[in-house]
Amino acid sequence: MTDAILVLNVGSSSLKFALYADEATPSVALLRGKIAGIGSHPIFSARDDHNLALQQTEGMRLTTGSTLDDIIPALLDWLKRHRGGVNIIAAGHRVVHGGRNHTGPAKVTEALLDELATLVPLAPLHQPHNLQAIRAVCSFLPTLPQVACFDTSFHRTQDRLAQLFALPRTLTDAGIIRYGFHGLSYDYIASRLPHYLGAKADARVVMAHLGNGASMCAMKARQSVATSMGFTALDGLMMGQRCGSIDPGVLLYLLDGLDMTTQELKHLLYEESGLLGVSGISNDMAILQSSPAPEALEAIELFCYRAACELAALCTTIGGLDAIVFTAGIGENSALVRRLICDHLAWMGVALDGHANERNEHQISSTTSTVDVMVIPTNEEMTIACATHRVTTQQVKRCRSQVQ
Ligand code: ADP
């Protein structure tokens, strides 16, 4: 029997899952998969460690309207059948918001769940689903140790100035600060940087996590110094459906001048803006890239212009730039987006090797570039597996020392 950690990364309409051997640094997932379309038409897919597709079984037949409470027990049952030689000893979850106190992963307890529930208004698209998944595992396997791994923790190394808004102190004290997100992805990239950059890994690096949600993080000594997302995951870069940074006067005008309700405004900001809003076609970069519509091109150009401006601003926080890392769906796969962003940064000495960029190679900067430009695939699930191993083994050690 191999002891394994189950990793669950639950979004608003999808659930990514993976099994990793319970080791400090497992090399590959024993199995990984996804259930997309939760709440509408769920679609299941999974692959083993040889990348072979695994079949859905009778018990896993998901129907329209299946919720996480139905899906998680069915998934746990499916995992038991498909990995007969595997003993799940803990579950690690992605939890988007850990507030200002959690600087690392935490063992799940009732008190922790209550605390994390208070943060739901700060991450309404993700936090409720993250917590629902933990509770669903708890009902099916009540004694299984669970660990919450926060997207905000990685940024708690930032100086106070980088976390402040220019608001009255009472609001800062009430927790209205810049938290930052995508920390599990940045943590993974930070752990891989020495492999790709050698000694430069500890220099001035800006990581660009460009997926459906998008943000950037400026790092020194592989620690977060500043990031583009703030109080919520709405801030910073233009995204698939979110507008990113916006003049707050626009919001006041929409509410008072155009009589929008707060619900309508929330929907506009989280669901109808960004690539989707500007193009009027799709939130999906690959679809926009293949569209002949001028609105699609304008949306891509705005995305890249805004990303380049944000990247240049982040350089101020680390006193210059030695390397850029592109990651996530768009960052790893879109040569066009990387080229358009880097074209805006030519004045800083950023230059791409066009062929390497087209082939999505790891090093895509040219030999004349003063900045290394890299493409490094992210792996948030691996970060969660390692963190879960750390927390649960410490727990076991603590129990043992109490017994002795
Ligand atoms: P999420 O934030 O949902 O995890 P991902 O990191 O999976 O998002 O990124 C999804 C985005 O990546 C989509 O906009 C998708 O179109 C884009 N993407 C994936 N592959 C390509 C590609 N080959 N070319 C351009 N964009 C791509």
Domain ranges of the chain: 2-169, 183-380
- Ligand 1 atom closest to residue 378's alpha carbon, by position in its atom list: 6
Atom of ligand 1 nearest to the CA of 289: 25
- Classify residue 185 as exposed, middle or buried by CB count within 10 Å of its CB (0-12, 13-18, 19+): buried
From ligand 1's centre to the CA of 160, what distance in Å?
33
Q: What is the pLDDT of residue 107?
A: 97
| Main-chain phi, psi angles of 177, to 5 degrees | -135, 175
Q: Which residues pair with 22 in a beta bridge?
A: none
Query: 336 vs 104, 139, 342, 353, CA distance in Å?
Result: 36, 46, 10, 13
Task: Please report which confidence band the pLDDT of residue 404 belongs to, taking 50, 70 and 90 as the band edges.
Answer: very low
Q: Whose CA is nearest to atom 2 of ligand 1?
A: 212
Atom of ligand 1 nearest to the CA of 288: 16
Ligand 1 in reach of 330 Cβ (< 6 A): yes
pLDDT at residue 82 tops 80? no
pLDDT at residue 49 is higher than 90: no
pLDDT score of 160: 97
215 lines ligand 1 (CB under 6 A): no
211 is in an annotated binding site: yes
Rounded Cα–Cα distance for residues 393 and 297 (Å)? 50
Residue 272 has pLDDT above 50, yes or no: yes
Q: Scanning the structure block, which residue is given the tokens 């037949």?
A: 61
By annotation, the residues acting in catalysis are 151
Asked if residue 396 has pLDDT above 70, the reply is no
pTM of the model: 0.93
Query: Rounded to an integer, what distance in angstroms lies between the CA atom of residue 327 and that of residue 247?
Result: 28
Using the structure block, give the residue that is written with the tokens 């896993």.
Answer: 60
**Cβ of 191 below 6 Å from ligand 1:** no
Judge whether 2-169 and 183-380 match in fold: yes
With a cut of 90, say whether residue 234 has pLDDT above it. yes
Tokens representing residue 114 in the block: 């209550």
Does the annotation place 354 within a ligand binding site? no
How many Cβ atoms are within 10 Å of 85's Cβ, its own excluded? 8
Q: What is the spatial order of strands in the sheet that 205-210 belongs to?
A: 223-227, 214-220, 205-210, 323-327, 372-375
pLDDT band of 273, cuts 50, 70, 90 = very high
Nearest residue CA, atom 19 of ligand 1?
A: 329
CA of 329 to the centre of ligand 1 (A): 3
Cα–Cα distance measured from residue 38 to residue 68, given in angstroms and rounded to the nearest whole number: 8
Q: Is 211 in the pocket of ligand 1 (CB under 6 A)?
A: yes
Phi-psi region of 39 (alpha: psi -120 to 50; beta: other; left: phi over 0): left
Question: Tell me, what's the pLDDT at 125?
Answer: 83
Say if residue 383's pLDDT is above 50.
yes
Integer CA distances (angstroms), 398 to 25, 57, 144, 333, 401, in order: 21, 40, 17, 44, 5
Q: Residue 66 has what pLDDT?
A: 78
Instruction: Determine whether the annotation assigns residue 16 to a binding site.
Output: yes
Residue with the two structure tokens 């299941």: 44
Q: Which residue has the higher pLDDT, 26 or 96?
A: 96
Gap from CA of 142 to ligand 1 centroid (Å): 36
What phi, psi does 292 have (nearest 5°)? -85, -5
Query: Given a cut of 90, is residue 19 above it in pLDDT?
Result: yes
**In the CATH hierarchy, which fold is given to the domain comprising 183-380?**
Nucleotidyltransferase; domain 5 (3.30.420)
pLDDT at residue 386 above 90? Answer: yes
What does the block give as tokens for 33? 């998969």
Closest CA to 340 of 325, 355, 327, 350: 350
3-state SS, one letter per residue, for the chain = CEEEEEEEEECCCCEEEEEEECCCCCCCCCEEEEEECCCCCCEEEEEECCCCECCCCHHHCCCCCCCHHHHHHHHHHHHHHHCCCEEEEEEEEEECCCCCCCCCCEECCHHHHHHHHCCHHHCCCCHHHHHHHHHHHHHHCCCCCEEEEECCHHHHHCCHHHHCCCCCHHHHHCCCCCCCCCHHHHHHHHHHHHHHHHHHHHCCEEEEEECCCEEEEEEECCEEEEECCCCCCCCCCCCCCCCCCCCHHHHHHHHHHCCCCHHHHHHHHHHCCHHHHHHCCCCCHHHHHCCCCHHHHHHHHHHHHHHHHHHHHHHHHHCCCCEEEEEHHHHHHCHHHHHHHHHHCHHHCCCECHHHHHCCCCECECCCCCCEEEECCCCHHHHHHHHHHHHHHHHHHHHHHHHC
d(CA 133, CA 108): 12
Nearest protein CA to atom 13 of ligand 1, as residue: 284
Q: Taking all residues of the chain, what is their mean pLDDT, rounded to a whole number?
A: 93
pLDDT for position 60 = 65
Give distance in angstroms: CA of 283 to centre of ligand 1: 10
Does position 399 have pLDDT exceeding 60, yes or no?
Answer: no
Q: Which residue has the higher pLDDT, 58 or 303?
A: 303
Q: Is 274 in the pocket of ligand 1 (CB under 6 A)?
A: no
- Residue 343 sits at φ, ψ, to 5 deg, of -60, -40
Q: For ligand 1, is residue 284 a contact (CB within 6 Å)?
A: yes
**Residue 271 annotated as binding?**
no
Q: Which residue among 188, 212, 282 has the greatest number of ligand 1 atoms within 8 angstroms of its CB, and so is best to mutate? A: 212
Share of the chain above pLDDT 70, in %: 96
Q: Which CATH superfamily is domain 2-169 in?
A: ATPase, nucleotide binding domain (3.30.420.40)
> Does residue 329 have a known ligand-binding role?
yes
33 φ, ψ (degrees, to nearest 5)? -170, -175
pLDDT value, residue 68: 87
94 is in an annotated binding site: yes
Q: Which of the four pLDDT bands, split at 50, 70 and 90, describes residue 14?
A: confident
Q: How large is the average pLDDT for residues 302-309?
A: 98
Q: Check pocket membership of 327 for ligand 1, CB cut-off 6 A.
A: no
- Range in 83-87, 252-256, 395-399 with the lowest mean pLDDT: 395-399
Select the more confidently predicted residue: 96 or 398.
96
For the ranges 64-68, 230-234, 291-295, the lowest mean pLDDT is seen at: 64-68
The per-residue pLDDT for 110 is 96
Q: To the nearest 10°, report the CA torsion of 246, 249, 254, 256.
A: 160
What is the Cα 101 distance to its own chain's centre? 19
Q: Is the CB of 331 under 6 A from ligand 1?
A: no
